[in-house]
Amino acid sequence: MPELPDIVVYVEALEQRIVGARLDKVRLLSPFLLRSVVPPIAEAEGREVRSVRRLGKRLVLGLDSGLFLVLHLMIAGRLRWLGPKQKPPGRIALALFEFSSGTLALTEAGTKRRASLHLVQGEDALGQFDMGGLEVLQADLLSFAVRLKSENHTLKRALTDPHLFSGIGNAYSDEILHRARLSPIAMTRSLGDEEVQRLHAATQAVLIEWTARLREQAAAGFPENVTAFRPEMAVHGRHGQPCPVCGAPVQRIVYAENETNYCARCQTGGKVLADRALSRLLHKSWPRSIDELG
């Protein structure tokens, strides 16, 4: 799922292309995408784009007359900017937004249709999509600590909870926790002041660094190959590969459709955390420390 760095770079690319342009036509290619009825989607057509912004993991296109198009890309949704003679993508295209300056395609790989589009009228209606998460790049240490300890959850869950923190998902939470040298299953209220300070610093540093890196990769073009799995990442998506800090193999915990990656040596004092599926299968054969893995 595109997270804060990905969405920020999308916003910047769209600002350059569509702010001040007219939205001539919205072509819906999937009946599952549009999740709102009032106002009708035709009301967006012919409107000037006044702004593009990020709201959590959503993209918001502000139109004149106080209308807002709200796009949530979910896991597999992506955006493509089409050149004048470029054909729209085939089966994966969910919608085409035809602006006076060019065409934006919303695509979604796979068979599950999770991406969504809403059209709402006014800031109050837009507010329903604000989950209340803290904007961590603007948060000082005290604000961050208060929000972190407002509920007692594992660090992994807390960082990815949109009601607590805005824009952080599965990928960057792994990177943040590795940078902070903290276990993904440590409880928020068990952290000491120094650990909270490390987490705050790591959160800001990782998000700033990755936004800059993705911005550089996109250059003046439109962001392509937006993915949660990048070779430059320290642990996310790198199960079994060496940790870039200590060289130990990166470990994982799999739950439902999510995978948490971490370094046992750097983050858990050498302890290999139990993966529910594998540990149940292996019982006593499940390794208890990184050293048992050889």
Cis peptide before 40 (omega within 30 of 0): no
Phi, psi (rounded to 5 degrees) for 171: -70, -55
Give me the torsion for CA of 136, 196, 288, 243, rounded to 10°. 60
Domains and CATH numbers, the chain: 4-129 (3.20.190.10), 136-293 (1.10.8.50)
Q: What is the pLDDT of residues 160-192, one digit of tens each?
A: 999 999 999 999 999 999 999 999 999 999 999
Residue with tokens 């085409």: 96
- pTM for the model stands at 0.92
- Could you tell me what percentage of the chain is helix, strand and coil, using 3-state DSSP and rounding each to the nearest 5? 35, 25, 40
Measured CA to CA, the distance from residue 238 to residue 168 in angstroms comes to 19
Please enumerate in sequence order all residues whose Cβ is within 8 A of that of 32, keeping only pairs 6 or more positions apart, or say none: 94, 113
DSSP string for 268-290: STTBPPPPHHHHHHHGGGS-SBG
Q: What is the separation, in whole angstroms, between the first and last Cα of the chain?
A: 34
Spatial CB neighbours of 160, under 8 Å, sequence gap ≥ 6: 168, 169, 170, 173
HSE value, Cβ hemisphere, 13 Å, CA-based, for 112: 5
Contact criterion met (CB below 8 Å) for 18 and 61: yes
Each residue's pLDDT tens digit in the chain (294 positions)?
Answer: 899 999 999 999 999 999 999 999 999 999 899 999 999 999 999 999 999 999 999 999 999 999 999 999 999 999 999 987 788 888 899 999 999 999 999 999 987 889 999 999 999 999 999 999 999 999 999 999 999 999 999 999 999 999 999 999 999 999 999 999 999 999 999 999 999 999 999 999 999 999 999 999 998 799 998 998 999 999 999 999 999 999 999 999 987 678 899 999 999 999 999 865 444 433 443 344 444 334
pLDDT in tens, 194-233: 999 999 999 999 999 999 999 999 987 999 989 989 999 9
Name the token pair of 215: 């911005």
